[in-house]
Amino acid sequence: MKTIKKINILSLAKIMGLLNGGVYLIAGLAVNLAVLFLGVPALQKFDLLGFGSGILAVLLLAILIGAISFVIGAIIAWLYNIAANMVGGIIWEEQEVKKPLPDFDLEKIRNREHLATSAKPQAEVNNVLGRDNDTFKS
């Protein structure tokens, strides 16, 4: 088991500001593009000036939301550090998961009897392609 005893205030604030501001920026740009090309007013008149002001508004709001999230992240990290100091931190348990390895014939590998040196791959390729001659020979 491991415990988070302290969170670096600046690091959490930067991450929250960047994530929230970035998500708003991407979502706002997507909405503006959708309104530009799919909106009913856009079908009557191609409003590039309105699109530009919409992009500017999205950029300014993304910066504002990022700044507010930065401050909120700093406050949350500060409050967490105070609470963790009083009652302990968040405890979690880790377990290492090992992926099963495919079955290898270690003796063949040690003796360098790989598939590349045997005739088996060539026979399989010829069987699949329906050829009698060697595919890999030049």
Residues 84-125: pLDDT tens digits? 999 988 888 888 878 776 666 666 666 655 555 555 666 666
Same-domain status, 111 and 77? no
Sole residue written with tokens 């604030």: 13
In a domain, 28, yes or no: yes
pLDDT digits (tens, 9 = 90+) for 21-70: 999 999 988 888 887 777 655 555 655 556 667 788 889 999 999 999 99
Sole residue written with tokens 């005893």: 5
**What residues make up the domain containing 126?**
104-138
In a domain, 38, yes or no: yes
What pLDDT band is residue 133 in, cutting at 50, 70 and 90?
low
In a domain, 97, yes or no: no
| Neighbouring residues of 85: CB distance < 8 A, sequence distance ≥ 6 | none
* Total number of domains constituting the chain: 2
In a domain, 98, yes or no: no
Same-domain status, 88 and 116? no
In a domain, 13, yes or no: yes
Same-domain status, 134 and 73? no
pLDDT at residue 112, as a whole number: 59
Measure the CA–CA gap between 55 and 49, rounded to whole angstroms: 10
Prediction pTM value: 0.59
